[in-house]
């Protein structure tokens, strides 16, 4: 039986998703931050629960159009149920997760031929606390970002989007990345690596739970690459999180160069993770 979650189901959902944290951090973070029934926040979600003899799947549909699913089997039927529960004309804006689940979502919503801004299957990495390889931080320091850093970080966000996502170099895209950088700073989870007092790299947790963090927003500008800045930033940030009691860290890597940096910190590949951003030119 698949049903829509109601207030009071939070612990039930979290318990299931926590068992599959490596591919569930977005849904877990959204549940913690916005609960069930929030129809206003872009990252608020409607949740769906499949119950047989216990929970065997959790689905989520965000107010901003994200569609996600964590399940062990029966992906197509679960996706069909979620689609039937949504308003006519609903179109996903993004889906992420294990490739076989993403494939079911794309097919189930009839999006196989839809244009995408991004459609990547990336290696999924895991690091347990005891496996962290600390880096030489002599001459380096890590600190939280502040609003004084906003002009620089907005510029870096835009450069990343142009380089990785193929975003147009327009005033609109500049405005969007400025707003995104401001929101990231406000969340308080971003860290900046400094060398001799100069900011040289950034890292962020795009999901943070008591047991696990998901790393995102790692960036070194082109002029600083090849100097080990990213691995130092990530290792120092994780050292901070692990000291606070976190047990696991996960991330998905956009390139082999990035993967080498993450392996140097202690990460091991455990699978694949797919990200599909719908939109762009047909």
Which tokens hold the place of 210? Answer: 């008591």
pLDDT in tens, 93-104: 999 999 999 999
Nearest to 137 by CA among 189, 184, 200, 190: 200
Residue 148: predicted pLDDT: 97
Residue 53: predicted pLDDT: 82
CB 253 within 8 A of CB 225: no
Domain boundaries, the chain: 2-114, 128-270
Q: What pTM value is reported for the model?
A: 0.90
pLDDT surpassing 70 at residue 277: yes
Residue 163: predicted pLDDT: 79
DSSP E strand boundaries for 139-211: 140-144, 191-195, 198-208
Q: Which CATH architecture has domain 128-270?
A: 3-Layer(aba) Sandwich (3.40)
pLDDT in tens, 246-256: 999 999 998 88
pLDDT surpassing 80 at residue 227: yes
Mean of the per-residue pLDDT values of the chain: 94
């Amino acid at each position: 039986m698949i049903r829509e979650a109601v207030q009071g189901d939070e612990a039930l959902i979290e318990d299931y998703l926590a068992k599959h944290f490596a591919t569930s951090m977005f849904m877990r973070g959204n549940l913690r931050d916005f609960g069930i029934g929030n129809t206003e926040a872009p990252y608020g979600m409607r949740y769906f629960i499949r119950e047989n003899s216990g929970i065997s799947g959790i689905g989520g549909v965000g107010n901003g159009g994200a569609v996600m699913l964590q399940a062990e089997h029966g992906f197509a039927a679960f996706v069909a149920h979620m689609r039937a529960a949504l308003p006519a004309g609903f179109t996903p804006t993004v889906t992420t997760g294990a490739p076989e689940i993403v494939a079911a979502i794309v097919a189930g919503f009839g999006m196989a031929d839809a244009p995408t801004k991004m459609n990547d299957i990336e290696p999924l990495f895991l690091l347990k606390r005891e496996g962290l390889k600390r880096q030489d931080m002599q001459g380096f320091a890590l600190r939280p970002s502040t609003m004084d850093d906003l002009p620089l970080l907005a510029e870096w966000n835009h450069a990343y989007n142009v380089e990785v996502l193929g975003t147009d170099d327009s005033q609109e895209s500049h405005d969007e990345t400025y707003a995104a950088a401001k929101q990231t700073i406000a969340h308080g989870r971003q860290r900046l690596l400094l060398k001799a007092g100069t900011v040289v790299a950034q890292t962020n947790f795009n999901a943070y739970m008591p047991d696990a963090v998901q790393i995102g927003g790692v960036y070194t500008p082109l002029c600083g690459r090849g100097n080990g800045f990213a691995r130092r930033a990530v290792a120092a940030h994780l050292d901070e999180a692990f000291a606070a009691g976190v047990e696991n860290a996960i991330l998905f890597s956009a390139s082999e160069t990035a993967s080498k940096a993450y392996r140097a910190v202690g990460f091991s590949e455990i699978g694949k993770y797919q990200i599909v951003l719908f939109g762009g030119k047909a």
